A and B are shown apart, each in its own frame.
Chain A
Amino acid sequence: MSSSTLEEPCLIEKCELDRLIERLKCEGFIVVGPYVEDSAIQYREIQSMRDLPRGYRDTQEPGEYRVAKLLKKNYFEFNLGPHSWKQFLFPPKLTVNSCTKKNESWEFISKVDSQPKFAFLGVRACELAAIQVQDRVFMEGPYVDPVYQARRESTFIVAVNCTVAASTCFCTSMGTGPKCKSTFDLALTELDCGFVVEVGTARGRSMISDLTTRELDPEHARDSQLLQQRAVDQITKRLDTSEILNLLMGNLDHPHWDEVAKRCLSCTNCTMVCPTCFCSSVTDVSNLSGDEIERQRQWDSCFNVDFSYTTSGTVRDDIRSRYRQWLTHKLASWHDQFASSGCVGCGRCITWCPVGIDLTVEVAAIRNTPSSNRTLPVIQPSCKAECAFPKDSKA
């Protein structure tokens, strides 16, 4: 991965993208790209440019998402659907282990070895940032997720610069976009006459070696700039991130958490569409006799009641505490853990919230009415009633 392009951008005609897809398939990649399905632009395996959402445009508002076909015939003049690339690197459901009972003893077999090799086509700047965030979670801590690592290291990324923005986008506030700056092998900007191609890696360069490329003339360069500026200009949503760690962690008892809890359904949608949320649970799937068992890891959510269950009780058993957990993790304690925000400003959690909760509005509400600095409850050792041992204790 490089932090800048390797050489001057070039121009390809649009049909050349089919040759790139073909080349990637020949190299053994499963090419994944945007595709219109169930009235939404989703990501799935594609075979050619014909599968791309040509002419489609999405409109997004809090709790609202629509796609419509326009007269223009651009391939990438839309923003984001409910899917993110995390479903390919961090699969929603994955068998990590299998267990077989032989002669009354269990044998455990790891299932995480061979992994598919993906080429992502159409990764936006905020999504590149999300992949970087998950890289830090799954590959840069003391423990590495072997499935994520195997998939991530083989993934080929064709990024696309946004030329339009949705009303829910706020990548400019999070410093993640809309321009793709790193973490890609190739980055495209779609003009009416073709794609401007930036090369991010040697692998990216070799993948376009047999495409017909043209030198970029000043007019194309200017058009490319103007289109990218158009996306910037269309972004109206803002999140003030200044001192946000202290703002949120210093307001854990703010009354606004109760106010959000009145609207939040704790449905988990925001965490499912979030490209950085990484919570999961492993559960057992057994055959009828109970001697063949698969351990399946599935996406989980801090909005589920049993997520924080312990034998001493559920830690977060109301919506107030669960929304607070999600927001303070995403925007505040993520910085402590992974040295960046957990939010990339893609706006999916706003669009796909069934009641249209907008985290930028909730943060602003807390910022505008900060409660007095949180003080810890006073502990009185003589207060015997509160000292009595609860029913259960640590095992």
Chain B
Amino acid sequence: MNATADQKKASPLSEPWYTFPVTIRRAYAEAPNVMTYDFEFDHHADARQYAFAPGQFNMLYVPGAGEAAISIAERTNQDRFLKHTIRTVGIVTRAIAKGGVGMSLGLRGPFGTRWPVDSFSDGSVKRDVILVAGGIGLAPLRSLLLFLIEHREKVGSVSLLIGARSPEDVVYESELHGWRENGVEIHVTVDRPDQNWRGHVGVVTLLLGRIAIPRPQSTFVLTCGPEVMMRYVAKSAINSKIPTENVWLALERNMNCAIGLCGHCQLGPKFICKDGPVFRYDQVRDLLGVQDF
């Protein structure tokens, strides 16, 4: 399976500014300053034509405030809802948090590349898959994890390594048990434990060094989190004899148009919005180390 096939574009919208009206139907507190929202399309026709792949993102639009690029965490409730997990950090995300359930807003998407889901099995070979998330970087991996659970029998072992600043910053914590029951090996580590914490302490890359990787040549590592963390994850994976082309990551840059025409998200030869956000590590390795690039 090659990268270009894996990174197949979502069908480009003929009208790039076409905005779906959506409404927030549910909102859950996920962690301090982090909320998960379920958005429902206002029109059934929009819901019917909408389809995304794990790793892609939407532009959420609050009229008067602007747009924010947010990864798609899940499609749920018979495809009625699109789930997004959002850190309340800027003008748009604050407006969404303030609006809450019942808020009307706009959505463009889906945009960007997807995780290489077709590479995890080819006939007889089932690959082991390790997901490494830093903080809210678990959100873009969530749709991939749900995909892996849905197709659990087609892949080898599935591991999820989560790093968070503190125990209360772990997102989707209430769901971890269910994911474990569905055959996902999960390890959580925090930087700053509280009195009740009995788990790992330290950076998530150390977990990657501790778990068993019995078949590195048939193992994929997919990561999302702070860029410096992802560089260490990739380095650590390659040190563990996992092939470079099996290491994938999702990058963040300023996104304005989401279709590669506004220039904001450029990283050397790439536009993160259309050539990414999901990249094979070796496609961006040389650029990630350049300061302020």
B-binding residues in A (CB < 8 A): 96-97, 99, 101, 104-108, 110, 112, 137-138, 141-146, 249, 252-253, 278-284, 286, 290, 293, 295, 300, 302, 307-312, 315-318, 320-321, 324-325, 328-329, 333, 336-337, 374, 376-377, 379, 381, 384, 386-390, 392-395
- A329: chain B residues at CB < 8 Å are 266
CA of A132 to CA of B163 in the docked complex: distance in angstroms? 48
- B64: chain A residues at CB < 8 Å are 284, 286, 290, 293
From 17 to 37 in chain B, residues with beta carbon under 8 angstroms from any chain A beta carbon are: 17-21, 23
Q: Which 8 A-B pairs have the closest CB atoms?
A: A336-B269, A279-B263, A321-B292, A393-B135, A143-B259, A108-B19, A376-B289, A99-B63
Say yes or no: B136 contacts A143, CB within 8 Å: no
Say yes or no: A146 contacts B15, CB within 8 Å: yes
Show 22 residue pairs from A and B whose CB-CB distance is below 8 angstroms, ordered by the A residue. Answer: A99-B63, A110-B18, A138-B261, A143-B259, A282-B262, A284-B64, A290-B64, A300-B264, A302-B266, A311-B87, A312-B227, A320-B292, A336-B268, A374-B290, A386-B228, A387-B228, A389-B163, A389-B165, A389-B191, A393-B136, A394-B140, A394-B225
Say yes or no: A282 contacts B226, CB within 8 Å: no
Say yes or no: A389 contacts B23, CB within 8 Å: no
Say yes or no: A379 contacts B253, CB within 8 Å: no
Say yes or no: B9 contacts A142, CB within 8 Å: yes
Q: Which residue of B lies closest to A279 (CB)?
A: B263
Distance in Å from the Cβ of A319 to the closest Cβ of chain B? 11
Of A112, A145, A307, A320, which contacts B264 at CB under 8 A? A307
Q: Given A96-B17, A328-B268, A377-B289, does the pair A394, B274 have CB atoms closer than 8 Å?
A: no
- A137: chain B residues at CB < 8 Å are 261
- A107: chain B residues at CB < 8 Å are 21
- A388: chain B residues at CB < 8 Å are 191, 203
Query: Which listed segment binds A: B114-122, B123-131, B176-184, B232-240?
Result: B232-240
Say yes or no: A333 contacts B262, CB within 8 Å: no
Say yes or no: B261 contacts A325, CB within 8 Å: no
CA of A280 to CA of B263 in the docked complex: distance in angstroms? 7
Of B21, B253, B260, which contacts A141 at CB under 8 A? B260
User: How many of B's residues come within 8 Å of A, CB to CB?
Assistant: 81
- B271: chain A residues at CB < 8 Å are 337
- B86: chain A residues at CB < 8 Å are 395
CA of A229 to CA of B87 in the docked complex: distance in angstroms? 62
Query: Which listed segment binds A: B65-73, B150-158, B212-220?
Result: B65-73
Q: Which residue of B lies closest to A329 (CB)?
A: B266
Say yes or no: B253 contacts A295, CB within 8 Å: no
Of A106, A141, A252, A290, which contacts B293 at CB under 8 A? A252
Say yes or no: A376 contacts B17, CB within 8 Å: no
Of A295, A321, A328, A395, which contacts B89 at CB under 8 A? A395
CA of A381 to CA of B100 in the docked complex: distance in angstroms? 41
Interface residue B205 (Cβ < 8 Å from any Cβ of A): yes
Q: Which residue of A lies closest to B163 (CB)?
A: A389
Say yes or no: A381 contacts B262, CB within 8 Å: no
- B134: chain A residues at CB < 8 Å are 389, 393-394
CA of A138 to CA of B9 in the docked complex: distance in angstroms? 17
The 8 A CB mask of B57-90 against A (1 = contact, 0 = none) is 0000001111110110000000000000111011
CA of A246 to CA of B67 in the docked complex: distance in angstroms? 36
Say yes or no: A394 contacts B224, CB within 8 Å: yes
- B291: chain A residues at CB < 8 Å are 321
Q: Which residue of A lies closest to B202 (CB)?
A: A384
Distance in Å from the Cβ of B87 to the closest Cβ of chain A? 5
- A278: chain B residues at CB < 8 Å are 261-263
A-binding residues in B (CB < 8 A): 9, 12-21, 23, 42, 63-68, 70-71, 85-87, 89-90, 93, 102, 104-106, 134-137, 139-140, 163-165, 191, 202-203, 205-206, 209, 224-229, 231-232, 235-236, 239, 250, 252-254, 256-257, 259-264, 266, 268-269, 271, 274, 285-286, 289-293
Distance in Å from the Cβ of B289 to the closest Cβ of chain A? 4
CA of A317 to CA of B257 in the docked complex: distance in angstroms? 21
CA of A137 to CA of B259 in the docked complex: distance in angstroms? 11
Q: Given A315-B254, A337-B269, does the pair A145, B261 have CB atoms closer than 8 Å?
A: yes
Say yes or no: B264 contacts A381, CB within 8 Å: no
Distance in Å from the Cβ of B234 to the closest Cβ of chain A? 9
Distance in Å from the Cβ of B108 to the closest Cβ of chain A? 9
Say yes or no: B261 contacts A394, CB within 8 Å: no
Distance in Å from the Cβ of A105 to the closest Cβ of chain B? 4
Distance in Å from the Cβ of B24 to the closest Cβ of chain A? 12
Say yes or no: A395 contacts B269, CB within 8 Å: no
- A389: chain B residues at CB < 8 Å are 134-135, 163-165, 191, 203, 225-226, 229
Q: Which residue of B lies closest to A322 (CB)?
A: B292
CA of A383 to CA of B41 in the docked complex: distance in angstroms? 47
CA of A110 to CA of B13 in the docked complex: distance in angstroms? 13
Q: Which residue of A lies closest to B67 (CB)?
A: A282
Q: A106-B63, A336-B269 are in contact. List 11 more A-B contacts (CB 8 A).
A: A106-B104, A142-B260, A144-B16, A146-B14, A252-B290, A281-B264, A300-B264, A316-B292, A377-B289, A387-B205, A394-B225
Of A96, A142, A312, which contacts B274 at CB under 8 A? A142
Q: Given A101-B63, A389-B203, A392-B89, does the pair A143, B12 have CB atoms closer than 8 Å?
A: yes
Distance in Å from the Cβ of A355 to the closest Cβ of chain B? 22
CA of A321 to CA of B20 in the docked complex: distance in angstroms? 37
Q: Given A106-B106, A310-B252, A389-B229, does the pair A280, B203 have CB atoms closer than 8 Å?
A: no
Distance in Å from the Cβ of B276 to the closest Cβ of chain A? 12
CA of A110 to CA of B23 in the docked complex: distance in angstroms? 20
CA of A143 to CA of B12 in the docked complex: distance in angstroms? 6
- B105: chain A residues at CB < 8 Å are 106
Q: Which residue of B lies closest to A301 (CB)?
A: B263
- A282: chain B residues at CB < 8 Å are 66-67, 256-257, 262
Q: Which residue of A lies closest to B236 (CB)?
A: A381
Distance in Å from the Cβ of B262 to the closest Cβ of chain A? 5
Distance in Å from the Cβ of A233 to the closest Cβ of chain B? 37
- B9: chain A residues at CB < 8 Å are 142
Q: Given A99-B63, A284-B64, does the pair A143, B254 have CB atoms closer than 8 Å?
A: no
- A284: chain B residues at CB < 8 Å are 63-66
